[in-house]
Structure 1
Amino acid sequence: MANHTLEGNRLEAIPRQPVSDRALIGAVEGTLADFLACQIASLDAVDPALGGFARTARDLVMAGGKRIRPTFAYWGWRGVAGSGEPVEGLLPALGTLELMHTFALVHDDLMDRSATRRGRPTAHRIFAAQRGDQFGDAAAILVGDLCLIWADQLLARTALPAPVLMEVRARYDRMRIEAVAGQFLDVLGETDPSAWSVERALLVARHKTASYTVQWPLGFGLALAAGTHTDLDEAYQVYGLAVGEAFQLRDDLLGVYGDPAITGKPDCDDLRTGKPTTLLMLAREMATPAQLDELTTADVTRQAEIIAATGAPARVEEMIRDRVDAGVTAIGDAPIRTDARAALIELATATTYRPA
């Protein structure tokens, strides 16, 4: 049976070593496009409405994004893989991470009632425009569920021995559990932000974002290489948590001070929903009594001004620097290929000092 995830000429531009991130992203997106075309055709044959539903899911998956998770997984694998080892057989596994990411985004946007993502309407808004809010919410949940099922299907197509794929799957499952756990804590925090703390906000960042953005994609990639790599696994864990937390801390800043034209999200969305981010928790700790009183009653524009006046954004920037330094230090002497170390050092900066 043909492997539909690898059809066409999408892989011709991938060099064996080194691989540019652009070529890698193109290959992952090609794998996703081929896989999703087959899934859409299958649902279309059942009912045209299902085909339209699946196309909306596909469009959400393919709608840009930085493809950070497959990139970290690739370099986690390349850290020990031989220079001539081809990546083609691993592309389904790398694409799996983007399908999981879409599941998380669709559900997160619904919980936060976010209007846009990547400059486009969110899933629940797309469907609500067709048949109302209740339909929009229900359809968005189902889109997220479908993407998670697709992720399982695509992972199963990875060309690896069964024992290796079982270890990859174990790490993938832990990644998913931690992401859901972090999301629950995030929702819990929004119900009573006054009882939250900086430490609790960082716990959310660690589970909701760091674990499935950097930490476990790296470990996932290492598992794709097979074998035992205990020292490198430990270094990846330290790097992944540190850089992953820094990634979320940058998100906290962008959620308040980012340019919506660049971030693709509404401005001050976190303040509007009352999300107890590390930035907001620090601002409350650092605020004067007068600032704290105003912070609880002001509109979001004024809240952003007060938060800046407390010095909390500068403190978050310091926390980002500290975590990037810790991550880079962790892989400095790790038993890793030189090109992978250089790529991970570059990624530590690129993903944490970004405009969107």
Structure 2
Amino acid sequence: MTLPATRALSGGAVLKSVRADLAPHRAVIEPQNKRVSVIRFSAQETDPQLWQHRMEASRVSAEQKVKAFSHLGYQVDHEVLPGGTSAADFARLIDERSADPNTSAIIVQYPPPPHLAPMVQRMAPEKDIDGLLGERSQQQACATAEGIARVVRPFAQDNPSIAVIGGKGFVGSGVVRLLEQDGLRVTSLDAGDDLRQARNADIIVSATGNPHVLTNDVVQPHHRLVVDSGFMPQADGSIAGDVHPSAQNVPQYITPVPGGIGPVEMAVLMDRAVKMDSDPNHTPWTCQPVPYLDKGQVAAMESMPSATASASRGVDGRAADGSKPESMQHRAPTQTSASRDAQGPSV
């Protein structure tokens, strides 16, 4: 007996469905002439290559946010600042947007240049839709962290062990906080830790932004879910996630890069915007459960003489018979289930 092939969970399907479900709120938001300010920084050719890659990832994310908020009827100010912008000028911009009654939300793409990071804290807390202000924010975590938590929850009904790699970072710490609030067992791993500790977990969440840091020495067939939130453009034009290609066909389910957590982040931001400017009682969407095997079931299947799990898995997320990857589906507040499974835009 063979293990089921690795399935790629498409965040694009979630975003497409959420966009459709939230579209009626445009009729409420658009007449208000509300604005969203999305601020990012550009890189120069003389900047270190790593910084250039991070700013390229920032550009892609910012452009997806413009699409998401525009869909809801907001006017979006997409502001691109040079990395050498002075602290005084950046502070002035944050203060202006915070004081503007027509600006509902302010998003600063991370990471900003180090000398400008402290100025983000000048943002009005009620406009911090992405949870950038830490304890001062009205959000429990950044949208990426909340999206990851929503993806994990359907896989965590039996209180599995969860390893969050990069758990001290901006995204990872938010994931740890949200999952611990759910009463789940979370192990936080970070720089200097032996990542092989994650081998025994049931679920792995990686939020390091360190390309290909997770190899098949860490990722195992019994992992019911591996969430890869990495997104790092490469010099050859490809996009690298945290999971090494050799490990992408190992777990039962994985979020692909691109097209996994990026679209889910956008869907969370749209949820928050609707709650802010259209329906304060709006109930957030959730991901539907999918079937998976627990650790004991995987061990039993692997012990069978005919088990050829590795041979049955494909790096593109397809089963050995060529069937298509799974799509994450979401359950909207007004639906018992979501039926849409078409692929949406990828980030």
The TM-score by the shorter chain falls in which range?
A: 0.3 to 0.5
Give TM-score scaled by structure 1 length: 0.34
Which structure has more helix as a fraction of its residues? 1
Question: Where is the strand percentage greater, Structure 1 or Structure 2?
Answer: 2
State the structure with bigger RCO (CA 8 A, min sep 6), 1 or 2.
Answer: 2
